[in-house]
Amino acid sequence: MSEQSWQHAQPGNREVPNSEIVKGYEFEKGRYVVMSEEDFDKVRPESTRVIDLVQFADERSIDPMYVDRTYYLAPDGGMAADAFAVMREGMEGKVGIGKLALYGREYLVAVRPHDRGIVMYTLHHAAEIRGIDAVEELASVPVKVKPEEIKLARQVISMFEGPLNLADYKDEYREGLQKIIEAKIAGEEVVAPSIETPPRVVNLMEALKKSLDSVSTQKKKPAKAAAKPVAAAKAVAAAAAPKRKRA
């Protein structure tokens, strides 16, 4: 229940004991209805660990925005392995949609073949996905763009186009944090690297031209690493699928 609320402290910093903490649903601004564990038990499904598939569709039917988490599925035993392989091959190009009751919750899931196995995605329900019209900042974004700007933008994009291998992208935060940890263990002084602030670019055409010139220059110098594009668009972060809170 996304509207449930917890309050662990009161004015005066008095800690509230667990026995006084309740779960509630905000049905109006500042007004809540208290929910007991018995209320949750009435709708809590029994965990069966069985995926109940009810529909199959083209594997391209699922918008990535609906995907929550990914899990590998594996057969349980020899006979199950044969059925698993048949299901995997039979589902080629398809995705199965169904439900799974696990840990007292019912999940909307999708399953599809992947290499030698099958993967399962837990999905957000449609009601959890915010419509793009809810992003007020997009109201000022032009519907039409000048042809010359589109042409220049596509030139810049084409300079960076190539086969995708996500393994090429490292988690720089994780690697940097690991280096700091190792340095601290070794008793070394940790100095944070200086980060240059990129200049603010106001004119879009000028930004695209600078990006194109920068990339073209780097293409002529293969011995050096490719430069990052100069142009950057300021984006307003708006979560499409709100983070779920535990019931």
Whether 59 and 94 have beta carbons less than 8 Å apart is answered as yes
> Do residues 121 and 110 lie in contact, with contact meaning Cβ atoms separated by under 8 Å?
yes
CA distance 156 to 161: 9
- Pairing state between β 31-35 and 9-10: unpaired
Half-sphere exposure of 195 (CA within 13 A, CB side): 3
pLDDT tens, 200-235?
655 666 777 777 777 666 655 554 444 444 444 444
pLDDT at 14 (0 to 100): 66
Tell me the whole-structure pTM to 2 decimals. 0.63
3-state helix, strand, coil in the chain (%, to 5): 35, 25, 40
Residue 191 has pLDDT above 90, yes or no: no
Which of 234, 232, 229 has the alpha carbon at shortest distance from 159?
229
The mean predicted confidence, pLDDT, of the chain is 79
The pLDDT of residue 244 is 55
What CA–CA distance (Å, rounded) separates 244 from 247? 9
The 3-state DSSP class for residue 239 equals: coil
Give residue limits of the domains in the chain: 9-43, 51-128, 130-162+200-247
Q: How many other C-beta atoms are found inside a 10 Å radius of the C-beta of residue 188?
A: 11
Residue 220 sits at the vertex; the CA angle it makes with 214 and 221, to the nearest 5 degrees, is 90
CA 36 to chain centre: 32
